[in-house]
Chains A and B, each alone.
Chain A
Amino acid sequence: MWSIYLNVVIQGVLTGLVYGLMALGLSVIFGVVRVVNFAHGEFAVVAMYATYVLFTAFRLDPLWALVPVAALFFMVGYALQAALINPFVGRPEHEQFILLVGVGIVIVNVLLIGFGPDARPVNLSYGFDSYEIGPLIVDKPRVFAATAAIAVAAALFWFFRRTRTGAAIRACADNLVGAGVVGLNVKRLYALTFGLGLACVGAAGTLLVTIADPTPSLGPSYTLMAFIIVIIGGLGSMAGALLGGVLIGVSEALAGFLFVPSMKSMFSFTLLIAVLVLRPQGLMGRRI
């Protein structure tokens, strides 16, 4: 009996790592630029469709699609921040919110017009393969996806900890005025950060096709999920985002297993309300 639970938990951890990578992008953007990216999940869904297109057109495996999609998303993010969002830095929160809600609405509905409301599955040749370790059966695509998610997150950690640009971005997050005084180009660093955040979402989106089939309506629910994860983990904390992702992944897997699957997100929302009320800074404080 326990092996079933263990299987469900492992499934949840693997899924949660991918969710965590998506939320990591949101956390980086909020932690530095202080803009709430309310189109976050919509960007993830765009990446899912991009993966679908690359897969059907060139038979490109999602794990390989990750590289070009993340690169493309980096550029999109950079351009978006430079052109559209930079003027909103420091403006009231609701204005930023509404701007990005607008961006999200446009994305969802352009996808709806382009691809229609039906799901577009990416049928991998190894989609149903699994590893058997004793009583445990672990899906192969999810192991790959989780490994890739950890790799991307590790690269991001390295960038922020070990490079000069990473340090400069952290300086902007810690003390904006000070960063300006020592001569950092804040606007450019913000654009860079938004690009990195979107690259994270792009990477997560390519991996998400192993978990769910892309449909436009996934966008808003992924946005909410990313916010839930980031708030549970602590806005601005990179490790917190991954931890929050795993927590949400496991709790949804268990809830889906023990109760009605369609009710599983009720647990996430309850968790969100509880964290907001009891520990608003999240489980891992704020640190980037």
Chain B
Amino acid sequence: MIDLWRSVPPRGRIVIALALAALLALPLAADRYVLSVLTLIFYFAYVGQAWNLMMGYAGQLSLGHALYVGVGGYVAALLWLKLGIGPWLGVFAAVATASAFGAVVGWLGFQFGIAGVYFALLTIAFAEFTRIGFDHLALTGGAAGLFLPFEEKRMGEWWNLRGGQLLFYYLALALASGAVLLAALMARSRLGYQWLAVREDETAARALGINAFAVKMAAVVISSAMTAVGGVFYAFYYNNLFPSQVFEISRSIELILAPIVGGLGTVFGPVIGAFVLTPLGEGLIAVTGHFGIDAPGVKAVFYGVILILIISLMPSGVWPSLAKLLGLKGRVP
């Protein structure tokens, strides 16, 4: 980790330290709304980073990551509601369950040579299958949803993730920063380089003696485990879970926007993407609201147009061009 810090150029160290300090101190100055928008940004940076490890580094296109968000959220919420087990313990069960799901999807896909678009469809099929299953699962309240009660007396029990905006702001900040750190470490690790090799040319990677199956399995398990933590956060932040909302394919797509817009396969891409997209979406709602237009689809149309523009005009994302502009040389961090 110290090696990693040393590898950052001095200017970069200053920027990172200042940005972190500013974000840590921000709640002193900002109001609840700003904090809630930033919480959302950190959340999307975090789950985007999880997806980025699998797609950006290992080159495996998953369009069913909502599956892991949902499974993680449901497991932790159920443990809390039915057994009174708090989320700090529940998160381990959530991670274990979601990565088991990820392992099944990965095993089926990689063992039977389902690649590219076909693999993406496999991930969608699992997410949709689970969504319909949860719609009919009595234990989780089915389609009517699962609610975490909001109890006044439990407010401030941070060890049970019961608290206000401030708690979730810092938690999301920690998650997003942790994910960036993890991605940076992974990118410099042996496994990280093996991912890149498999992504660029699997046959060549195999010829070099890389166990492509194991490497891809590692990607899907790590990615689903990370995403599940995001799911636990989602469940305790929003206090409700509906199968039709958490498992929907539109959720999977929403989750991959930040890394694509920011820059696939880069450490900072998902963060930059989330910082670009979320405020734009929120701002758009504010502007249309100001003109008295209350159309629920406006934000989504905007995201769609952004997606088309970015992928047509700068398919490698915003961050690589930005990094060049900032005078960063070599591989984009």
Name A's B-contacting residues (CB within 8 A): 36, 84, 87-88, 91, 93-95, 97-99, 101-106, 108-113, 117, 216, 220, 224, 227-228, 231, 260, 262-263, 265-266, 269-270, 272-273, 276-277, 280
Given contacts A105-B253, A109-B297, A224-B128, contact A97 B136 (CB under 8 A): no
Query: Is there a chain A Cβ closer than 8 Å to B210's Cβ?
Result: no
Interface of A is mostly: helix
A residues less than 8 Å from B61 (CB atoms): 93-94, 97
> What is the distance, in angstroms, from B228's C-beta to the closest C-beta of chain A?
21
B307 contacts A98, C-beta separation under 8 Å: yes
B292-333 interface code vs A (CB 8 A; 1 in, 0 out):
000111101101111110011001000000000000000000
Closest 6 CB pairs of A and B: A109-B297, A105-B304, A102-B307, A106-B304, A112-B297, A102-B308
Name B's A-contacting residues (CB within 8 A): 55, 61, 63, 108, 112-114, 116-118, 120-122, 124-126, 128-129, 132-133, 135-136, 249-250, 253, 260, 295-298, 300-301, 303-308, 311-312, 315
Given contacts A93-B117, A109-B301, A272-B125, contact A103 B308 (CB under 8 A): yes
Nearest-CB residue, chain A, relative to B305: A106
Partner of B122, one of A110, A266, A276: A276
Can you report 11 residue pairs joining A to B where beta carbons are below 8 Å apart?
A93-B117, A94-B120, A97-B61, A102-B308, A104-B304, A109-B301, A220-B249, A227-B121, A262-B132, A273-B129, A277-B112
A residues less than 8 Å from B118 (CB atoms): 231, 276, 280
In whole angstroms, how far apart are the Cα atoms of A82 and B315 in the complex? 19
In whole angstroms, how far apart are the Cα atoms of A110 and B304 in the complex? 10
In whole angstroms, how far apart are the Cα atoms of A98 and B303 in the complex? 12
B300 contacts A269, C-beta separation under 8 Å: no
A residues less than 8 Å from B298 (CB atoms): 109, 113
A94 contacts B55, C-beta separation under 8 Å: yes
Given contacts A95-B315, A112-B296, contact A103 B304 (CB under 8 A): yes
A residues less than 8 Å from B55 (CB atoms): 94
Nearest-CB residue, chain A, relative to B129: A269
Given contacts A84-B312, A276-B122, contact A265 B132 (CB under 8 A): yes
Other than A113-B297, A280-B112, give 7 A-B pairs with Cβ distance below 8 A.
A88-B312, A97-B61, A109-B301, A113-B301, A216-B297, A266-B129, A269-B132
B residues less than 8 Å from A227 (CB atoms): 121
Partner of A277, one of B108, B117, B296: B108
A residues less than 8 Å from B126 (CB atoms): 269, 273
Given contacts A108-B300, A113-B295, A231-B118, contact A269 B113 (CB under 8 A): no
Given contacts A87-B312, A106-B308, contact A97 B117 (CB under 8 A): yes
In whole angstroms, how far apart are the Cα atoms of A276 and B297 in the complex? 34
In whole angstroms, how far apart are the Cα atoms of A117 and B118 in the complex? 31
A residues less than 8 Å from B250 (CB atoms): 105, 220
Nearest-CB residue, chain A, relative to B113: A280
Partner of B108, one of A101, A106, A269, A273: A273
Nearest-CB residue, chain A, relative to B301: A109
A269 contacts B128, C-beta separation under 8 Å: yes
> What is the distance, in angstroms, from B75's C-beta to the closest C-beta of chain A?
21
> What is the distance, in angstroms, from A128's C-beta to the closest C-beta of chain B?
30
Partner of B305, one of A94, A102, A117, A280: A102
> What is the distance, in angstroms, from A107's C-beta to the closest C-beta of chain B?
8
In whole angstroms, how far apart are the Cα atoms of A265 and B136 in the complex? 13
A272 contacts B121, C-beta separation under 8 Å: yes
A residues less than 8 Å from B117 (CB atoms): 36, 93, 97
A residues less than 8 Å from B315 (CB atoms): 91, 95
In whole angstroms, how far apart are the Cα atoms of A104 and B300 in the complex? 10
> What is the distance, in angstroms, from B216's C-beta to the closest C-beta of chain A?
15
In whole angstroms, how far apart are the Cα atoms of A266 and B125 in the complex? 9
> What is the distance, in angstroms, from B62's C-beta to the closest C-beta of chain A?
10
In whole angstroms, how far apart are the Cα atoms of A280 and B113 in the complex? 9
A residues less than 8 Å from B125 (CB atoms): 228, 269, 272-273, 276
B residues less than 8 Å from A280 (CB atoms): 112-114, 118
A residues less than 8 Å from B306 (CB atoms): 102
> What is the distance, in angstroms, from B118's C-beta to the closest C-beta of chain A?
6
B112 contacts A276, C-beta separation under 8 Å: yes
A residues less than 8 Å from B301 (CB atoms): 105-106, 109-110, 113
> What is the distance, in angstroms, from B207's C-beta to the closest C-beta of chain A?
22
> What is the distance, in angstroms, from B299's C-beta to the closest C-beta of chain A?
8
A102 contacts B311, C-beta separation under 8 Å: yes
In whole angstroms, how far apart are the Cα atoms of A273 and B253 in the complex? 20
> What is the distance, in angstroms, from B195's C-beta to the closest C-beta of chain A?
15
Nearest-CB residue, chain B, relative to A39: B304
B303 contacts A276, C-beta separation under 8 Å: no
B129 contacts A98, C-beta separation under 8 Å: no
B residues less than 8 Å from A97 (CB atoms): 61, 63, 117, 120
Which of A106, A117, A224: most chain B Cβ within 10 A? A106
In whole angstroms, how far apart are the Cα atoms of A228 and B128 in the complex? 12
In whole angstroms, how far apart are the Cα atoms of A280 and B307 in the complex? 30
